[in-house]
Amino acid sequence: MKKISDRVCKVEPSGIRKFFDLARKEKEVITLGIGEPDFDVPERIKDGAIRAIENSHNHYTSNYGLAELREKISKKLRKENKIFASSEKEILITAGSSEGLDLAFRTIVNPNDEILIPSPSYVAYIPTTVLSGGIPIVVPAYEKDEFRLLPEEVEKRLTKRTKCIVLASPNNPTGAVLRRKDIEEIADIAIKNDLMVISDELYEYLIYDNEEHFSIASLPEMKERTITVNGFSKSYAMTGLRLGYVAAGKEIIEGMMKIHQYGMLCAPSISQYAALRFDDCKKDVHAMAGIYELRRNLLYKRLNEIKNISAVKPKGAFYIFPNIKQSGLSSENFAEQLLNEEKVVVIPGNLFGKDGEGYVRISYSTSTENIEKALERIDKFMGNLNL
């Protein structure tokens, strides 16, 4: 008897975990690899969680999530994203945006449907497509274009089996932010070819240089064919509280509910009550984003001063994706040698898709002091390569 399903056998374990496991065995390691904020949860959200526990709000909520939280999210989407989603029928609270992504793929993907996925991009998109029975089709995003997903690259890869386009802006691992014009052209492609769009907008508040976040679901004819996935983990430093949400048409949300109600039942109740205060924490969010921007500026400047390394200036998230091709090392060898020789953790770019080979992901969700020390070690490492 074959115990493990064919779909699961097709999925590789996350390569990122490998580097974290290696790092745990080393002493005096500086990690520039972790993809979560180094800040504390805003005080108002803490207070909300504490009060929820004290008031015994530790029971199941509605499968859809707290009605009051859905109403607040509906107002936020209407005001900030120009997405008009009914709080009763078009919003679902999830256990993190990761569950939202999983539900999105499993709800719309039929066997052998082709899903267009940016490369490089978040490590979960391809495995989740495979586990849903779909076929991932990578769409390269190039350094010369600041790693933005271009409409013409999407169009080149359309076939009769294409079902969905995945958008991620800002992007993990590159920090790329899509321009409104590009999003409008991708929307035209989706409408013309009757495609769905999964729009991952988790980093929407972490945008720099006066760039603006734009939601594809706000465009005419796009709301009913777009699944907008978002959450509180990155912008509100709530990673461990596991809380996200999805906005989509009524039919899609009802489909997601068929999976969510059996698999998760409801998102964590304490986290939902805590998040009721999210709209009172915008100053905290903007303060964190301001610090990330200063760290980004430091990394961008210093990385480009290191011989044989270059980097595009990221417009969002808290990652930078430097080019290390002139080192002569593969992405994985570069990361392994840097860890072994200088005790610095970075993540190989190829783990985010084949187009990430020759790059590494560096996270600036750590202190300026750690970043400066790590940069000194990276400079030393590159000097020792004798290029």
Q: Has residue 358 been placed in a domain?
A: yes
Structural contact between residues 218 and 81, judged by C-beta atoms closer than 8 angstroms: yes
DSSP notation for 340-360: HHH-EE-EEGGGG-GGGTTBE
Q: Has residue 50 been placed in a domain?
A: no
Do 183 and 271 sit in the same domain of this protein? yes
Question: Which amino acid is it at 70?
Answer: R
Residue 310 is classified by DSSP as B
Number of separate domains in the chain: 2
Q: What pLDDT does 183 receive?
A: 99
Do 165 and 236 sit in the same domain of this protein? yes
b/e burial code for range 278-300 (CB count within 10 A of at least 16 → b): beebeebbeebbebbbebbeebb
Please give the residue range of the domain that contains residue 331: 6-41+282-384
Q: Has residue 365 been placed in a domain?
A: yes
d(CA 182, CA 199): 14
d(CA 285, CA 368): 18
Do 175 and 91 sit in the same domain of this protein? yes
SS3 190: helix
d(CA 212, CA 82): 13
Do 249 and 207 sit in the same domain of this protein? yes
pTM for the model: 0.96
Q: Which residue has the tokens 């004798």?
A: 386
Do 304 and 212 sit in the same domain of this protein? no
120-173 pLDDT, tens digit per residue, is 999 999 999 999 999 999 999 999 999 999 999 999 999 999 999 999 999 999
Mean pLDDT, rounded, of the chain = 96
- The angle formed by the CA atoms of residues 17, 5 and 332, to the nearest 5 degrees, is 25
Which of 256, 279, 302 is the last residue in one of the domains? 279
Do 33 and 78 sit in the same domain of this protein? no
Look up residue 153 and give its two tokens.
Answer: 């690259």
Do 116 and 214 sit in the same domain of this protein? yes
Q: Has residue 263 been placed in a domain?
A: yes
| Phi, psi for 164 (deg, rounded to 5) | -155, 150
Average pLDDT over residues 309-334: 98
| Phi, psi for 321 (deg, rounded to 5) | -125, 75
Do 87 and 232 sit in the same domain of this protein? yes
189-207 pLDDT, tens digit per residue, is 999 999 999 999 999 999 9
Q: Has residue 46 been placed in a domain?
A: no
Look up residue 14 and give its two tokens.
Answer: 């996350």
Residue 143 is classified by DSSP as G
Average pLDDT over residues 340-358: 96
Look up residue 363 and give its two tokens.
Answer: 């996270």
Which of 244, 260, 279 is the last residue in one of the domains? 279
Do 76 and 32 sit in the same domain of this protein? no
Residue 20 pLDDT greater than 80, yes or no: no
Q: Has residue 328 been placed in a domain?
A: yes
Closest CA to 241 of 378, 377, 45: 45
Look up residue 30 and give its two tokens.
Answer: 């500086």
Q: What is the CATH number of the domain that holds 332?
A: 3.90.1150.10
SS3 333: helix
Closest CA to 92 of 66, 123, 113: 66
Q: What is the CATH number of the domain that holds 158?
A: 3.40.640.10
Q: What pLDDT does 13 receive?
A: 86
Q: Has residue 75 been placed in a domain?
A: yes
Do 269 and 321 sit in the same domain of this protein? no
Structural contact between residues 300 and 320, judged by C-beta atoms closer than 8 angstroms: yes
Q: What pLDDT does 12 receive?
A: 86
Structural contact between residues 140 and 172, judged by C-beta atoms closer than 8 angstroms: no
Which of 253, 279, 305 is the last residue in one of the domains? 279
Checking DSSP bridges between strand 360-363 and strand 114-119, what pairing results, if any? unpaired
Question: Which amino acid is it at 95?
Answer: A
Structural contact between residues 45 and 236, judged by C-beta atoms closer than 8 angstroms: yes
41-79 pLDDT, tens digit per residue, is 999 999 999 999 999 999 999 999 999 999 999 999 999
- The angle formed by the CA atoms of residues 153, 154 and 155, to the nearest 5 degrees, is 90
Q: Which residues sit opposite 320 in a β-bridge?
A: 362
Do 85 and 139 sit in the same domain of this protein? yes
Which residues have a Cβ under 8 Å from the Cβ of 272 and sit 6 or more positions away? Answer: 61, 65, 66, 69, 93, 243
Do 205 and 111 sit in the same domain of this protein? yes
Give the pLDDT band (50/70/90) at residue 22.
Answer: confident
Q: Has residue 35 been placed in a domain?
A: yes
d(CA 280, CA 42): 9
Average pLDDT over residues 11-17: 85
Look up residue 267 and give its two tokens.
Answer: 């998102």
Closest CA to 366 of 119, 38, 4: 38
CA distances from 112 to 105, 108, 158, 296 (A): 13, 12, 14, 40
Look up residue 259 and give its two tokens.
Answer: 């999976």
